[in-house]
């Protein structure tokens, strides 16, 4: 079946160079990624290495300056309801928990009535007691 072989998300030799005050800032070069259905991916890297840039391109908020960003084999030309992005800071609703922040967009569009995350909610006592740094 074609659906099984086409990755949900594919980045092919993707690069992104920002232009800021006439200066070129290369954020990403030669990025390749294939995400298949059911996969759970973590992007790990030093601050400034281009993680957020890559995610913004997958979400369709930024266009690549080189290479191809594809979803189901189709070029990503902008944001769409098939992709959601939970922002690191000011885009979150502080009164909602992680599950409800993630579910907010799809719920408002009546795509789903509830969100099922593959993680267990920790009891409050566990969440509030962290080991000293």
Ligand X SMILES: Nc1ncnc2c1ncn2[C@@H]1O[C@H](COP(=O)(O)OP(=O)(O)O)[C@@H](O)[C@H]1O
Per CB under 5 A, residues contacting Mg ion are 51-52
CB of 53 to ligand X, least distance (A): 3
Residue span binding ligand X (CB under 6 A) among the ranges 50-58, 68-76, 92-100, 118-126: 50-58
Calculate Rg over the CA atoms of the chain.
17
Residue 99 class from Cβ within 10 Å (0-12 exposed, 13-18 middle, 19+ buried)? Answer: middle
Task: Select from 1, 3, 4, 20 the one that contacts ligand X (CB under 6 A).
Answer: 20
Dig out the tokens for 44 from the structure.
Answer: 């790990």
**Helix H segments across the chain?**
2-5, 51-59, 98-108, 124-128
Residues in the interface with ligand X (CB under 6 A) total 12
- Which of 127, 122, 104 is CA-nearest to residue 114? 104
Nearer Cβ to ligand X (22/45): 45
Select from Mg ion, ligand X, none the partner in contact with residue 87, using the beta carbon and a kind-dependent cut-off of 5 to 8 Å: none
Q: Using CB positions, name the residue nearest to Mg ion.
A: 52
Task: Select from 13, 18, 98, 111 the one that contacts ligand X (CB under 6 A).
Answer: 18
Dig out the tokens for 116 from the structure.
Answer: 């099922």
Q: Which residues share a beta bridge with 75?
A: 70
Select from Mg ion, ligand X, none the partner in contact with residue 25, using the beta carbon and a kind-dependent cut-off of 5 to 8 Å: ligand X
Interface residue list for ligand X (CB under 6 A): 18, 20, 25, 27, 45, 47-53
């Amino acid at each position: 079946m074609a659906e099984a072989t086409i990755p949900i998300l594919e980045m092919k030799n993707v690069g992104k160079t920002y232009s800021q005050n006439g200066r070129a800032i290369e954020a990403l070069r030669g990025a390749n990624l294939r995400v298949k259905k059911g996969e759970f991916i973590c992007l790990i890297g030093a601050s400034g290495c281009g993680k957020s840039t890559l995610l913004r391109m997958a979400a369709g908020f930024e266009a690549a300056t080189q290479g191809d960003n594809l979803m189901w084999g189709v070029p990503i030309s902008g944001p769409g309801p098939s992709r959601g992005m939970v922002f690191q800071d000011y885009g979150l609703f502080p009164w909602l928990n992680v599950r409800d922040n993630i579910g907010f967009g799809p719920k408002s569009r009546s795509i789903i009535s509830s969100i099922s995350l593959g993680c267990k909610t920790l009891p409050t006592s566990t969440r509030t007691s962290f080991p000293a740094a």
